[in-house]
Structure 1
Amino acid sequence: MHIIKLNATDSTNTYLRNLCANQAIEDYTIVVTEHQTQGRGQMGTVWNSDKGKNLMFSLFKDLSMHDVEFPFYICMAISLAILKTFKALNIPDLYIKWPNDILSADKKICGILIENVIKNKLSYTIIGIGINVNQIEFENLPKASSLKNITGNHYNLDEILFSIINNTKYYSLLLQNEKYDTVKNEYEMRLFRKNKPSTFKDIEGNLFSGFIKGVTKYGKLQVLLEDKIVKKFDLKEITLLY
């Protein structure tokens, strides 16, 4: 494991991706920063963070020894690795909001951005992780919270980082040993609002109701609709309102 610590950067994912383009990278190379000027989330969203209070890093994971036919298993594995870390910190009411936001109750405490690189087959992945740790205030973000807000405790950022890496190795080994059902079943057990009546919005802005039942191996969300039909939705096709 090789850790690169930066005072500030535009984006740790961008920094690591540029590094990969210019040199050979050791597995589990990590770029961590105190401040991101252009932190990114899913679908182009912006990740804002107070300097030095939160954990923002990107992880290079070599996949050459894996035979990952369905890349969404990487998303499931890293979500579970972070969840396992939070469980050990006694963070309550943990869920995964599809595809990979980590919630405590209904508050977002962690976001993940995964960028896979394919060279004939899946070669490696860059996993960007942003965790609200010791930040207290989130202006104009009513759905955001932090570990400190939830428990009242102040946390050591390095300890959380090392725990996530250890847990990532655990779930990576499960995938390497083709324990795909184990990973998928555990992920689905933690899905936010699974089997609860929920409201969704489609890309045209129409609202509809349904029950989250699970995910496909391709990462599509399975929703039971009012006509008793289970429909599969891609990330760009549907938004869960809560």
Structure 2
Amino acid sequence: MRIIKLNAIDSTNSYLKQLSVEESLVDNTIVVTNYQTKGRGQMGTTWVSEDSKNLMFSVLKDVSWLHADKSFYISMVTSLAIIKSLEYFSIPKLRIKWPNDILSEDMKVCGVLIENVIKHTHLKDSIIGIGLNINQTDFSNLPKATSLRLISGQVFNLDEVMIMIIKEITYYFKLLKAGRFQEIKNLYETLLFRKDKPSTFKDAEGSMFSGFIKSVSNSGNLQVLLEDDIIKEFDLKEISLLY
């Protein structure tokens, strides 16, 4: 494991991706920062965090052994690893809001951005960016955000939490490398936020509709049971869950 610590950077994912172009990096190379000037989330959103209050890091995983059509399993095992780590710190009622936001009850505590490096149509590396709200207490502009401190009342050591997450990521990637796809998928689906509950969704055109989250496909599409008893698949660009 190699850990690169920075006081401030535009984005740990961008830094690590550029570094991987410039030099050969070992598995579990980590870039962690106190502050991101251009932190990125899913679908072009930004990740805003107070200086030195939260955990912002990216880890490079060698996934050259994983077939490209199984790339969503990277998101699954990352989500499972974060939840297992947060359970260790006694954070309650953890769920995965598809595809990989981590919630405690219905409040977002962690976001994940995964960027895969593909070479000649094959997966080479995966850069996993994790933004975890730890000691920040003011989320006045983000009504659905919370932190470990707000949930538990405790102040946490950022390095301790990061090392625990890396340990669990290593464990779950071993399961993935061993080909235990169904076990991973079952665990992931069990933790899906609002699974089998009546939920409201918004499509890409802004129209709202109701349905029940049932499962995910191997490629990561959300499978939703609609009111006419048809199960329809949606990708990340097509649907968002309102909650």
Distance 1:219 1:18 in 2: 27
SS at match of 1:231: strand
The offset of 1:144, in angstroms, is 0.2
Structure 1 position 219 matched with structure 2 position 228: no
Residue matched to 1:203: 204
Residue matched to 2:98: 98
Q: Which residues of 2 match residues 52-91 of structure 1 at below 5 A?
A: 52-67=52-67, 69-91=69-91
Aligned partner of 2:187: which letter? E
SS at match of 1:84: helix
Q: Is contact 2:69-2:219 (8 Å) kept?
A: no
The sequence identity of aligned pairs, in percent, is: 60
Residue matched to 2:149: 148
Unaligned residue ranges in structure 2 (runs of 5+): none
Unaligned residue ranges in structure 1 (runs of 5+): none
Aligned partner of 2:8: which letter? A
Distance 1:231 1:67 in 2: 25
SS at match of 2:199: strand
Structure 1 position 190 matched with structure 2 position 187: no
Residue matched to 2:2: 2
Distance 2:61 2:41 in 1: 19
Residue matched to 2:12: 12
Residue matched to 1:51: 51
Q: Is contact 1:13-1:126 (8 Å) kept?
A: yes
Distance 1:27 1:152 in 2: 35
Residue matched to 1:165: 166
Give me the TM-score of the superposition, normalised by structure 2.
0.98
Name the Cα RMSD after superposition: 0.8
Distance 2:33 2:223 in 1: 36
Q: Is contact 1:67-1:176 (8 Å) kept?
A: no
Q: Is contact 2:93-2:105 (8 Å) kept?
A: yes
Distance 2:128 2:171 in 1: 16
Give me the TM-score of the superposition, normalised by structure 1.
0.99
Distance 2:77 2:236 in 1: 18
The offset of 1:66, in angstroms, is 3.7
The offset of 1:34, in angstroms, is 0.1
SS at match of 1:235: coil
Moved over 3 A (4+): 65-69
Residue matched to 1:22: 22
Distance 1:46 1:122 in 2: 26
The offset of 1:64, in angstroms, is 2.2
Distance 1:205 1:64 in 2: 38
Residue matched to 2:136: 135
- Aligned residue pairs total 242
Residue matched to 1:110: 110
